[in-house]
Amino acid sequence: MTISIFNTLSNRKEEFRPLAPPRVGMYVCGVTVYDMCHVGHARAYVTADVIFRYLNFRGYQVTYVRNFTDVDDKIIRRAGELGIPTRELSERYIREFYDDMDALFVRRPQVEPKVTEHIPEIVDMVRRLLERGHAYVVDGDVYFDVRSFPMYGRLSGRNLNDMKAGARVEVDERKRYALDFALWKASKSGEPAWDSPWGPGRPGWHIECSTMSSKYLGDTFDLHGGGKDLVFPHHENEIAQSEAATGKPFVKVFFHNGFVNIDKEKMSKSLGNFFTIREIRERYDPEALRLFILTTHYRSPINFEVQLCCPSCDGPLTSEAYQARACPGCGKAFEAEAGRRAVRFPALEEAQRRLVYLYETRARLNRALGSLATGMGEALRAQEIEALRAKFLDAMDDDFNAAAALAALSDAARLANEVLDNKAGQSETLVVSTAQRLQDLFGVFSEVLGLLERDPAAALDSLSRRALGARALDPAEIERMIGERNAARKRKDFKEADRIRDQLLQQGIELMDSPQGTRWRAKG
């Protein structure tokens, strides 16, 4: 089996052939730490995480590097607004980033360099570019001369003259060419600064990633990823300055994930139509967000549908009513923040329901295994189980197609429930062996996709409580009603028992009777 990956550099799928197998060097551009991360960040780092996981699963020894940009214009501006040092701001949002990524089951890379800890290396790369004639100094600023690099535009497929004609760049008469970009910025009063041969200053954005990737992965490495918005100018500029500095190819394969659209419009902070991961986590299980992200192939755009609702009556709102902050249904006005908190995400609600089903399936398999010995002997429907494993691996080999791999996961859950539903009359040893094979297959799914990693009982409890919270239901009240239903069943008042069951069902509470008693779950 071979892995194929779409290479943005060649604009086609290629067989993945590392430079020095089984070792793989992988670099992904990290966050600029000045604010909370949004859903677009979640997609980028979940995508990279799945690629990292699968390569490791396939036996590669991956060195994964993901940086933190901890000095930048945005950081300086935000720190000034808050009246705190830039380091305090960046450290705060690094902690918040980790909190979000851990909640999404994103594994941490082996190397997470910070820009401020690599200033000498950055200065050295800028010096090399000056010595090779690819850069020039103006008033303490250092710029890269894009016309000195004939291959500029190769990644994005753009012609230099066309780029200049359509460029949206600040006019700076000091630059030789409009598209020249800063390698080093002279410091302004009150800004963080480091000494350099050109005077005190700080790095430009693009040079950071070139320097840190080469330090930890070498001048040429295997994989470089990020969001599609980084193709130009960031990754284009990285290629130019890296290859100009070293005279070697920079990266074998570039991969880029597609945009997150909010109701079919690109999500961005500038448009104001973005949602932070923390906002999502406050109302939905974070694993549901991960599952939702994986339902679409990473290179395709993903549509994040929203439903605008009234904070008072929960009735639907048109975009006009939402902007006016007034509900035509109940007649009540609302504050902008309250309206934002009332927005619903149908896809995440569906993802939560799907997680409940998948975790319940794993819980059933656990109960079937119980404390019995679990050998790997003959199994029911063994060929189907092996076919599902092959289907999963084929999907992942095809450009890390997690969306197609999820179909194998769903099929495995269906098969597991069919086996357990029809175990009566089957050999106990046969059922246990089958359950073990299926549980092992789920282990493969979890290892690669980063889903279903929690203890099923704990996950189901968490999912149920979230669903209860969304409906403002009290678990104690549910237990009281179940007690009343049990009492009605004992006195053979089945009409009353059915009424209570139906009342709970209308509130989204499903009852499950068994010889051990009645369990309940909140649906969706």
Measured N-to-C along each axis, helices 205-217 and 119-131 cross at an angle, to the nearest 10 degrees, of 100
**Residue at 286 is within a domain:** no
Rounded to whole angstroms, what are the CA distances from 396 to 17, 173, 228, 446?
Answer: 16, 50, 21, 13
> 334 and 196 in one domain?
no
Q: What percent of the chain has pLDDT over 70?
A: 93
> 127 and 39 in one domain?
yes
Distance, CA of 96 to CA of 116 (rounded, Å): 19
> 482 and 360 in one domain?
no
Distance, CA of 188 to CA of 200 (rounded, Å): 9
pLDDT band at 372 (very low <50, low <70, confident <90, very high): low
> 246 and 225 in one domain?
yes
Instruction: Answer whether residue 376 shows pLDDT above 80.
Output: no
Higher per-residue pLDDT: 268 or 505? 505
**Residue at 292 is within a domain:** no
Task: Check residue 167 and report its DSSP letter.
Answer: -
Distance, CA of 44 to CA of 226 (rounded, Å): 6
Q: Which tokens go with 480?
A: 């009281």
Distance, CA of 420 to CA of 422 (rounded, Å): 5
Measured N-to-C along each axis, helices 382-397 and 428-449 cross at an angle, to the nearest 10 degrees, of 10
Q: Which of 239-243, 346-350, 413-417, 467-471 has the least mean pLDDT?
A: 467-471
Q: Which tokens go with 240?
A: 């130019």
Instruction: Answer whether residue 271 shows pLDDT above 80.
Output: no
**Residue at 123 is within a domain:** yes
Amino acid identity, position 181: F
> 197 and 175 in one domain?
yes
Q: What angle do CA 224, 63, 33 make, to 5 degrees?
A: 60
**Residue at 271 is within a domain:** no
> 89 and 29 in one domain?
yes
Distance, CA of 197 to CA of 72 (rounded, Å): 20
139: phi then psi, degrees, rounded to nearest 5:
50, 40
Q: Which neighbouring-strand residues pair with 518?
A: 513
Higher per-residue pLDDT: 434 or 380? 434
**Residue at 281 is within a domain:** no
Q: Which of 318, 343, 368 is the last residue of a domain?
A: 343
- What pTM, to 2 d.p., does this model score? 0.90
**Residue at 164 is within a domain:** yes
Show the beta-strand stretches assigned E in 129-250: 135-138, 141-144, 181-186, 201-203, 221-227
Domain CATH code at residue 94: 3.40.50.620
Distance, CA of 338 to CA of 359 (rounded, Å): 33
pLDDT band at 508 (very low <50, low <70, confident <90, very high): confident
> 179 and 197 in one domain?
yes
Residue-averaged pLDDT of the chain: 91
Range of the domain at 316: 307-343
Q: Which neighbouring-strand residues pair with 510?
A: 521
Q: Which of 294, 319, 343 is the last residue of a domain?
A: 343
Q: 324 by DSSP, 3-state: which?
A: helix
Q: Which tokens go with 105?
A: 């089951």
Task: Check residue 35 and report its DSSP letter.
Answer: S
Distance, CA of 82 to CA of 34 (rounded, Å): 11
**Residue at 276 is within a domain:** no
pLDDT band at 466 (very low <50, low <70, confident <90, very high): confident
Number of H helices, E strands in the chain: 18, 15
Picking from 155, 181, 179, the residue whose alpha carbon sits closest to that of residue 166 is 179
**How many distinct structural domains can be found in the chain?**
4
Cis peptide before 113 (omega within 30 of 0): no
> 227 and 173 in one domain?
yes
Q: Which tokens go with 487?
A: 């009492």
**Residue at 496 is within a domain:** yes
Q: Give the side-chain half-sphere CA count within 13 A for 171.
A: 1
- Over residues 322-332, the mean pLDDT reads 90
pLDDT band at 166 (very low <50, low <70, confident <90, very high): very low
Domain CATH code at residue 393: 1.20.120
- Over residues 17-21, the mean pLDDT reads 98
Instruction: Answer whether residue 270 shows pLDDT above 70.
Output: no
Picking from 27, 72, 34, 73, the residue whose alpha carbon sits closest to that of residue 210 is 27
Greatest C-alpha distance within the chain:
93
> 241 and 123 in one domain?
yes
Picking from 62, 72, 66, the residue whose alpha carbon sits closest to that of residue 25 is 62
The bridge status of strand 201-203 relative to strand 221-227 is: unpaired
The bridge status of strand 265-266 relative to strand 260-262 is: antiparallel
pLDDT at 523: 67
Q: Answer whether 109's CB lies under 8 Å from 212's CB.
A: no
Residues 484-494 pLDDT 10s: 999 999 999 99
pLDDT at 432: 85
pLDDT at 265: 65
> 508 and 405 in one domain?
no
